[in-house]
Structure 1
């Protein structure tokens, strides 16, 4: 922590003058406390499972934190051509009824778009907003998030499993693989997508699924089962406390962490890296849908990290923080492109339906041409692969579109 503080101090000193106009003291301000510009607000409605998901809810709430930090950062600079950004929030609780109620709340608030992460969204809140013509930017946690391209627009995370398979087969030269995942519909989808990716890339990889039953308190026996399969690579989607337990067990059983590929939401300092012995995590690989949060040579990362410190009181070294922040910043840029006087849900939906190479903050460009028959809502599939070592993330596979690498028969 001391080393990170010293490295960060130099960057923050350089940014102090630029951020001095943002108000507040040297510490973080309370989200939403920045005075709003006087124009008509542009309302984004965050529907996130802030409660109801036990240990995972803290990570999921990072979407909201990132959105609110972007709101305050933009409003401190006068909003979008004088119109303030307002991120209104609703706790969907992982519950169908609460999720549907939040969707109706978005309509009543005059929302331009739905943000945040709701696991029950696809079958509950999404149809409500689709009928109202309000675009949904929910991450791809339901089939509808990817398969309905008329009202759903996925800005990231839709190709992480495919990217992992490509990296495992082409870079790590894997011929055997374990998918270490939960025994639930999400885990089954994980396995299905990995199987399809292996075939589509034309790799000769033997796949062994290892499923963790719901409520597993100690993953050690399942880790042992995975290790006994003697795979070249293990793919997993464990995060937070579950990841800490699983990675510790893999380390203790002698499986090299540098042969474990995880999804970007697990590459989180507060819930994972800072909670395990560095030996347990050093070398771990992650597919990642946004800019490397430790790459301080990237001006957008510098802006982002400073804004998160200023307005949220956190470093923001997490894919979910970045995702929330990037969505709001990108929507503000779209409002400028459309024209703030004409920017509403209908104009945003029309824009996203035909978008072509529009830059995304902290990410690669969005384009409708990236959508596929299986995932018509996908507008930004590009992924990096990052590796954790010496208390920071480094990029080992630069940006690529996993679908561009698939075998063309």
Structure 2
């Protein structure tokens, strides 16, 4: 189980009535209902009534990086909860989703957290993707669990009430992120590419800004550990010269390209690769780039587009031969039809986030409390989200392991996929058997 996903941070989830003795509120709804386990629902915790559970979602719908960059998880979570409510809810309680747009801003994120915690009094959060999770310390101080969020900042590696979609073995003691300010990542991505595509010389392109530099350094270190020759190319964010970087990588025989940049930088890089005649075996994007809209965004760079690979620890949302993926697609089509053609791995992970929180809530039966939910989350058993995710948990380790066995899913963009519309085609037999025992390499959290 990997400690966290390496994500580029550049610029960067039926009501039975009691036969007798139920009290009824002013609206005529029963205030106590028998549950699947035989108990009677009560207002058992903040954000929980006999008939309702209030769940918050924070995303950046109006982020400066665009409306799609930090919003996909919201639509997945909402589709799951809508389907859940249609099937009867959680032990007789329906889920009410309260969303907040933090605009990709730290101060607005803090305002969202306080709105959801203090004003809306939500029980928990799900489907969060916050670019700057400035409100995390306050959320954590109030003991509100955030389940299955996207770790686009270090908050999920630091606070005990925050649970990343990728699982974690970090101490998460509220002090420094990771182990004394160091995070760890395996080299499984690079080994897969080496073993399956025979890549040997890797270009790593990044901006001269700290988050991009840190990510790029961790990639370069992992590549070198796997025996690659690495060509590192720093791009001036304010005066980029991609052609010079591309020409140097071409001259030095780069056959795989990694980057630590957002979509605009990626597109500029691909245009330069096309113009300068740099062809590679693989151009590797992060899971954040695994989207339906990838083909349209890179329409003018066919060579780069059709050599792009994405690597994740989640099922490909196009693989409907897996029942849980088929349910996801059906729920999205029914409850979020406007997202057709705009799906992403983050959308599926938002759906899995809501599923994870729901499974934890169902384990509590009538006595739904945050303590009960977190007991479920912190149990030593692995969780796989009904086979949407590779196995993961939140068992804390006192020290980082020297090595770990990590399983990954790999997909490649193909113009011929999706009935000729283009799409992501899975390139491994099964992510649960595509596993590698690799070293854990440190990199700085800040």
* TM-score, normalised via structure 2 length: 0.72
1:3 alignment counterpart: none
Q: Deviations over 1:264-313 (max 9, x none)?
A: 1112122x213315554223211123211111211111111121121112
1:406 alignment counterpart: 438
1:20 alignment counterpart: none
Q: Deviations over 1:61-92 (max 9, x none)?
A: 11212222222121122222221122211122
2:26 alignment counterpart: none
Q: Deviations over 1:20-70 (max 9, x none)?
A: xxxxxxxxxxxxxxxx99953222211112223233x42211121222222
Q: Identify the match of residue 293 of structure 1 among 317, 324, 334.
A: 317
Higher share of residues assigned strand: 2
Pairing 1:285-364 to 2, within 5 Å after superposition: 285-313=309-337, 314-315=339-340, 317-339=343-365, 341-361=366-386, 362-364=388-390
Q: Structure 1's 211 and 41: CA in aligned 2 closer, same or farther, altered over 3 A?
A: farther
The gaps in structure 2 that reach 5 residues or longer are 1-28, 32-49, 169-183, 417-421, 442-446
Q: Are the equivalent residues in 1 in contact too, given 2:81–2:95 (CA < 8 A)? A: yes
Q: Are the equivalent residues in 1 in contact too, given 2:109–2:130 (CA < 8 A)? A: yes
User: In the alignment, is residue 50 of structure 1 matched against residue 61 of structure 2?
Assistant: yes
In structure 1, how many angstroms separate the alpha carbons of the residues matched to 2:239 and 2:188?
Answer: 28
In structure 1, how many angstroms separate the alpha carbons of the residues matched to 2:261 and 2:55?
Answer: 30
Offset of 1:117 from its aligned partner?
Answer: 1.0
Higher share of residues assigned helix: 1
User: In the alignment, is residue 99 of structure 1 matched against residue 103 of structure 2?
Assistant: no
Q: Identify the match of residue 208 of structure 2 among 183, 205, 228.
A: 183
1:231 alignment counterpart: 254
In structure 2, how many angstroms separate the alpha carbons of the residues matched to 1:374 and 1:223?
Answer: 37
Tell me the secondary structure at the aligned position of residue 197 of structure 2.
coil
In structure 1, how many angstroms separate the alpha carbons of the residues matched to 2:200 and 2:390?
Answer: 31
The gaps in structure 1 that reach 5 residues or longer are 1-35
Tell me the secondary structure at the aligned position of residue 284 of structure 2.
strand
Offset of 1:132 from its aligned partner?
Answer: 0.9
In structure 1, how many angstroms separate the alpha carbons of the residues matched to 2:143 and 2:432?
Answer: 32
Q: Deviations over 1:348-393 (max 9, x none)?
A: 2222222412331421233234868459xxxx96421111222232
Offset of 1:131 from its aligned partner?
Answer: 0.9
Tell me the secondary structure at the aligned position of residue 171 of structure 1.
helix
Tell me the secondary structure at the aligned position of residue 47 of structure 1.
strand
Tell me the secondary structure at the aligned position of residue 338 of structure 1.
coil
Rg larger in 1 or in 2? 2
Give the aligned CA root-mean-square deviation in angstroms. Answer: 3.3
Pairing 1:5-84 to 2, within 5 Å after superposition: 39-55=50-66, 57-84=67-94
Of residues 273-282 and 78-87 in structure 1, the stretch that sits farther from structure 2 once superposed is 273-282
User: In the alignment, is residue 269 of structure 1 matched against residue 279 of structure 2?
Assistant: no
Offset of 1:228 from its aligned partner?
Answer: 3.7
2:161 alignment counterpart: 151
Q: Are the equivalent residues in 2 in contact too, given 1:138–1:154 (CA < 8 A)? A: yes
User: In the alignment, is residue 142 of structure 1 matched against residue 173 of structure 2?
Assistant: no
Q: Are the equivalent residues in 2 in contact too, given 1:184–1:214 (CA < 8 A)? A: yes
Tell me the secondary structure at the aligned position of residue 360 of structure 2.
helix
User: In the alignment, is residue 395 of structure 1 matched against residue 420 of structure 2?
Assistant: no
Pairing 1:219-258 to 2, within 5 Å after superposition: 219-238=242-261, 240-256=263-279, 258=281
User: In the alignment, is residue 281 of structure 1 matched against residue 308 of structure 2?
Assistant: no
Pairing 1:165-176 to 2, within 5 Å after superposition: 165-176=190-201
Q: Are the equivalent residues in 2 in contact too, given 1:161–1:194 (CA < 8 A)? A: no
Tell me the secondary structure at the aligned position of residue 73 of structure 1.
helix
Q: Are the equivalent residues in 2 in contact too, given 1:69–1:311 (CA < 8 A)? A: yes
User: In the alignment, is residue 132 of structure 1 matched against residue 158 of structure 2?
Assistant: no
Q: Identify the match of residue 118 of structure 1 among 115, 130, 133.
A: 130
In structure 1, how many angstroms separate the alpha carbons of the residues matched to 2:411 and 2:185?
Answer: 12
Q: Deviations over 1:313-368 (max 9, x none)?
A: 223531111111111122212222232x2333222222222241233142123323
